[in-house]
Amino acid sequence: MNQLEQLKQFTTVVADTGDFQLMKQYTPQDATTNPSLILKAVQKAEYRPLLEQAVREQHGNGTDAVMDALLIAFGAEILKIVPGRVSTEVDARLSFDTDATVAKARHLIALYEQRGIARERVLIKIASTWEGIRAAEVLQRDGIRCNMTLLFALVQAAACAEAGAQLISPFVGRILDWHRKQAGDQWDAEAHRGAADPGVRSVSQIYAYYKQYGYATEVMGASFRNVDQILSLAGCDLLTISPELLEQLAAGNGDVARQLSPDNAGRDPQPRVAVDEASFRWQLNEDAMATEKLAEGIRAFAADAIKLEALIARVDR
């Protein structure tokens, strides 16, 4: 078996792309999208009809309606390919507004259900801010399952689990990016490979914490920079992987060994993390990497949403 096939023995593989054709090649269980991936996809000729159809159907209803229709159109097409779930993201500009996030999530689920797609096949992606986590708590009680994204710290993960979120997406590569940038010329790439990679360490810690305390929330490593990071997290509940890295795994023939397992997660017990609002905000504030990458990620997703709106406006002329 190639490395991708071996990895699937331990971990649910998820495609991190809006490109349907690439999904078909690698037969993932689930797929994730975000505004950046949708923006990239609709600029390709083969996906232009989805954009044009959303504009036609929602003509006169405003850009927000077209955006929502486009997200649902992509999600519905993806669900024809993957047997599991698709993640659809709430506008990042709502990341600090609990009520607006809840309303948008309910609206997106209603649009899916109008197409005959059960809510169990959809994960609503929400930024792991305090307000986003509170929105997830409300939505999960409604039976709307949430994928908590832009997650960089254990305190975010602990708060998401206490809120009953279905799934979290800790960002491996962006954590590595921050540490590498901070070290500058002093960065030792070899010393930070495999289990020593700061992003891998973060996800491993979160996985162990969840298993130690019996949380049902799923851990899905995301934002990978290389195959080594992926293989170092073999055994994680899920891993969402870009087409480029899926291709490398499919071409790889080396042995893949399980690295994370519930059986050894409690080997180094961790104290329970306080997740009341004051404790959450303070712990996040004290983690410069998590604070900076969370803010940066929200800005980047918001910027791509604005670009997508501008593209819609040009098509709608």
CB 56 within 8 A of CB 40: no
Determine whether 216 is exposed, middle or buried from the number of CB atoms within 10 Å of its CB (0-12, 13-18, 19+): exposed
Distance between CA atoms of 118 and 35, rounded to whole angstroms? 22
The residue type found at 3 is Q
CB-CB contact of 63 with 91 (8 Å): no
Q: What is the DSSP letter of 171?
A: B
Q: Are 204 and 195 in contact, with CB atoms under 8 Å apart?
A: yes
Query: What is the gyration radius of the CA atoms in the chain, in angstroms?
Result: 19
Between CA 314 and CA 317 the distance in angstroms is: 6
Residue 80 among the catalytic residues? no
Tally of CB atoms within 10 A around 256 = 22
Residue with tokens 């870009």: 242
Catalytic option among 40, 80, 104, 125: 125
Q: Are 308 and 91 within 8 A, CB to CB?
A: no
Active site residues: 125
